Amino acid sequence: MTDLLAIDDLTIRHAGRPLVAGVSFAIAPGERVGLIGESGSGKSLTALAAIGLLPEGMTASGSIRLAGRQLVGAADRDIVGLRGSVVATIFQEPLTALDPLMRIGNQIAEVVRRRARRDGQPVDVQAEVLALMARVALPEPRRLARAYPHEMSGGQRQRAAIAMALACKPRLLIADEPTTALDVTTQAEVLRLLEALVREDGMGLLFIGHDLPVVGAAVDRVLVLRGGELVEAGPVAEVFGRPRHPYTIGLVEAARTFDRAIGAAL
């Protein structure tokens, strides 16, 4: 089966300086992959390159295939079409995905309409919006659909952003630190929801984070990025149980120490 995402020898440069160097990995349909590493290690740039949305002034070399089609060097128009039909993204700050001046139900409806046009299939927009809101466990969908983003909590906004991602019916979901901006309890809830949705729909997942236990709980396989280079990759149990690279050993050790400290404090 064709990989949803296949990245081969990806290097991302800014002003001649490599920020990501020689990164290769692939995600098969339904596979859940975690990308971890400290802040500034190149996680977000890798994700942005994967959807053809690198910031101004950055260049990518190597190969990035989305559902078999090459992104590096492709025309913007083709990239937009390909992105729309294969992948949806959720970012750390849900407000970046939401329009502050539009009721949340209308924002989700817009995505549903766009997808219906793309697939050439008629849809009962209102019914689907309410179903999506219920699916991400937003309370009282009928009432909340009329709310503006500033009237919602951070957790509700991130659930709404997830509903918009699901409305695209993506085959691959890229979630870049989707729970980092939320308080710890809400983090756990949103994470459990994401995990359940990905499993139910059989979506591929690229889950980005810096917290090893959080990422490990949501994926099958992890990649460890450091200073723009992949230093370790493998099944979660293997990387956590027998980390090989000194950097990964440090990450695992730090997570264990933290767990012990929490345990001692309880």
Which residue's CB is nearer to Mg ion, number 43 or number 65?
43
CA distance 121 to 115: 9
Nearest approach, Cβ of residue 3 and ligand ADP (Å): 22
Nearest approach, Cβ of residue 250 and ligand ADP (Å): 16
What six digits make up the tokens of 236? 């979660």
Which residue's CB is nearer to ligand ADP, number 190 or number 208?
208
Which of the choices Mg ion, ligand ADP, none does residue 40 contact, using the CB cut-off of 5 to 8 A by kind?
Answer: ligand ADP
Residue 164, SS3 per DSSP:
helix
Which residue's CB is nearer to Mg ion, number 123 or number 181?
181
CA distance 186 to 183: 5
Q: Residues touching ligand ADP: how many (CB under 6 A)?
A: 11
What six digits make up the tokens of 194? 């994401």
What six digits make up the tokens of 85? 């039909």
For residue 61, how many other CB atoms are within 10 A of its CB? Answer: 13
**Of 216, 263, 265, 219, which is closest to residue 243 (Cα–Cα)?**
216
Q: What are phi and psi of 164, to 5 degrees?
A: -65, -40
> What is the footprint of Mg ion within residues 39-98 (CB under 5 A)?
43-44
Task: Based on the shown chain and the rule CB under 5 A, indicate whether residue 180 belongs to the binding site for Mg ion.
Answer: no
Residue by residue, what is the 3-state secondary structure of 95-154? HHCCCCCCCHHHHHHHHHHHHHHHHCCCCCHHHHHHHHHHHCCCCCHHHHCCCCHHHCCH
Which of the choices ligand ADP, Mg ion, none does residue 14 contact, using the CB cut-off of 5 to 8 A by kind?
Answer: ligand ADP
Nearest approach, Cβ of residue 7 and Mg ion (Å): 17
* Cβ contact 10:20 at 8 Å: yes
Which of the choices Mg ion, ligand ADP, none does residue 55 contact, using the CB cut-off of 5 to 8 A by kind?
Answer: ligand ADP
Residue window 30-69: x/- pattern of binding to ligand ADP, with contact defined by CB under 6 A:
-------x-xxxxxxx---------x--------------
Summarize as ranges the residues that interact with ligand ADP (CB under 6 A): 14, 19, 37, 39-45, 55
Summarize as ranges the residues that interact with Mg ion (CB under 5 A): 43-44
